[in-house]
Amino acid sequence: MTSNDTTPTSLHARIVELLGLAVTSGALAEASVLRIDELEERYGASRSVVREAVRVLAAMGMLSSRRRVGIQVLPAADWNLYDPQVIRWRLASPERIAQLRSLTELRSAIEPEAARLAATRAPLTNASALMGLAGRLWAAGQSDDEQEFLLLDIEFHRLVLSSSGNEMFAKLNTLVAEVLTGRTHYGLIPHHPATEALQLHVDVASAIQRGDGDAAHAAMLSIMDSAFTEMSSIWEDGPS
For position 152, which CATH number holds? 1.20.120.530
**Each residue's pLDDT tens digit, 20-75:** 999 999 999 999 999 999 999 999 999 999 999 999 999 999 999 988 889 999 99
| Domain that includes residue 16, residue range | 8-78
User: Is 85 in contact with 134 (CB distance < 8 Å)?
Assistant: no
Q: Are both 125 and 206 inside the same structural domain? A: yes
Which amino acid belongs to residue 233?
A: S
Q: Are both 66 and 119 inside the same structural domain? A: no
Residue 160 lies in a domain: yes
Closest CA to 113 of 151, 63, 190, 169: 169
**Each residue's pLDDT tens digit, 162-189:** 999 999 999 999 999 999 999 888 887 8
- Domain count for the chain, please give it: 2
For position 54, which CATH number holds? 1.10.10.10
Q: Please list, residue by residue across 165-184, b when 16 or more beta carbons sit within 10 angstroms of its beta carbon and e when fewer do.
A: ebeebbebbebbbbbbbbbb
Q: Is 65 helix (H, G, I), strand (E, B) or coil?
A: strand
Whether residue 91 is predicted with pLDDT greater than 60 in this model: the reply is yes
| Average confidence (pLDDT) over 120-145 | 95
User: Is 68 in contact with 36 (CB distance < 8 Å)?
Assistant: no
Looking at the chain, which runs of residues are DSSP E strands?
33-34, 63-66, 70-73
CA-to-CA distance for 40 and 43, rounded, in angstroms? Answer: 6
